Amino acid sequence: MTQMMLQPINSSNNYFSTVVTFDFSWGADEEAPTGMDEDMIENLKGSSDEGVYAWVVANYALGTLGGDPSETTGIIELGGASAQVTFVSREAMLPLFSRTVKFRNVTYNLYSHSLLHFGLRGW
């Protein structure tokens, strides 16, 4: 998604118009949705939330999500135009870099930062 930040605004808007009106096709045994509602789309716009989502996925896959915060794994997620760094922190953080995730009554205080231009095609 961060790659969209590097595109002219008209190009980005056209992309999202297409996404909003696209009907997804599902397998023969599944009920196909009629389409997407605009409320179902969130543009992360290169935010550190990309790193938070990647952190949740990685720790869920490792089986550490829902347990002791000190046992979780930090991540570096490399996207197209940016890289995200996210990990549990015991230190006080600036609100800009601080995120809170709750899972199974466990609260994780995360440091998450998005580094624009440090992705695969960022330069």
Annotated binding site: 80-84
Q: Rounded to whole angstroms, how far apart are CA atoms 123 and 116? A: 9
Q: Which residues are annotated as a binding site for ATP?
A: 80-84
Nearest by Cα to 63 from 26, 14, 103: 103
Q: Rounded to the nearest 10 degrees, how much is the dihedral formed by the CA atoms of 101, 121, 19, 35?
A: -50
Question: Please, are residues 88 and 52 in contact by the beta-carbon 8 Å criterion?
Answer: no
Please give the structure tokens belonging to residue 98.
């601080």
* 50 in active site: yes
73: CB partners within 8 A, 6+ apart: 58, 59, 62, 64, 87
Active-site entry in 31, 38, 42, 50:
50
Tell me which residues are annotated as active site.
Answer: 50
